[in-house]
Amino acid sequence: MGAKQHTFTEKYGFRNLLFFLLLYIFGSPFLANFPSLAILAHLCLSISLLLSVYAINQEQGYRTTAMIFLLPVLVLYWCAIYNLIGSGRIYSYILLSVYLGLLVFTFAAQISKFKTVTLNTIIATLCLYLVIGLFWGALYALLYEVVPGSYSGALLENTEGNKFNLFIYFSIVTLTTLGYGDITPQTLEASSLCQLEAIVGQFFTAVVIAWLVGSYASAKEKNKQ
């Protein structure tokens, strides 16, 4: 039974991950104002981080590294939520940024080896896109903790406690170059991070999507022959 569950988790790794990523990104803002329910958002993110391990291809050799690294990430993340360690949020965001950066690297390498465009390819690419958003969100949150006032805006001023979900929102907005202006960088370092994410977002749209379309068209042409 355990082996079957393990196989299922690996086979549908990216699908399971996508579900919880979307659940966290879209659900956490609705729970943020209810402390008794906000715990569900943190659980959802924790599950997403756990499932991300099973989305990594075993053959890449990075899964073991991710598993080892995940434990301290989750421990510090939950300690930071309950303020159990001094400067816990800073350490939490540092480890979270490194872990998410590892996921970005491994997912990108994994997707680049896909020979045909299938539903799983598209789901994996979407997961990569969302993890990039989480990665930059963690960087924004880290900078905000290290240098208070790096970002400002009505959303930040009207929200107390953990603001990580707000920086995820800001990250997604920056990644897609929407730029609503409700959160804005206030230092050179903050603006530099925003510029870099916007460039990555445009590169992803222009290059990765073009690669997916080209691979799909090429495979379709081969099938006709």
**DSSP result, 8-28:** HHHHTHHHHHHHHHHHHHHHH
What's the rounded mean pLDDT across residues 97-104?
96
Phi-psi region of 149 (alpha: psi -120 to 50; beta: other; left: phi over 0): left
- The proportion of the chain whose per-residue pLDDT surpasses 70, expressed as a percent, equals 90
Number of residues that this document lists for the chain: 225
Q: Token pair of 159, please?
A: 């929200």
Q: Distance between CA 168 and CA 102 in Å, rounded?
A: 18
**CA-based nearest residue to 42, from 79, 68, 7:** 79
Give me the phi and psi of 152, to 5 degrees please. Answer: -145, 170
pLDDT of residue 1: 38
Q: Which CATH class is domain 2-224?
A: mainly alpha
Instruction: Give the mean model confidence (pLDDT) for residues 92-111.
Output: 95
Q: Which of 114, 119, 130 is nearest to 60 (CA)?
A: 114
pTM of the prediction? 0.90
pLDDT in tens, 163-214: 899 999 999 999 998 888 899 999 999 999 999 999 999 999 888 878 877 7
The pLDDT confidence band at residue 86, using thresholds 50, 70 and 90, is confident
- How does pLDDT run across 23-81, given as a tens digit for each residue? 999 999 888 778 788 899 999 999 999 999 999 987 767 899 999 999 999 999 999 98
Q: Is 121 exposed, middle or buried (0-12, 13-18, 19+ CB in 10 A)?
A: middle
The token duo for 206 is: 């222009």
The CA distance from 165 to 133, in Å, is: 11
Residue 38 pLDDT: 87
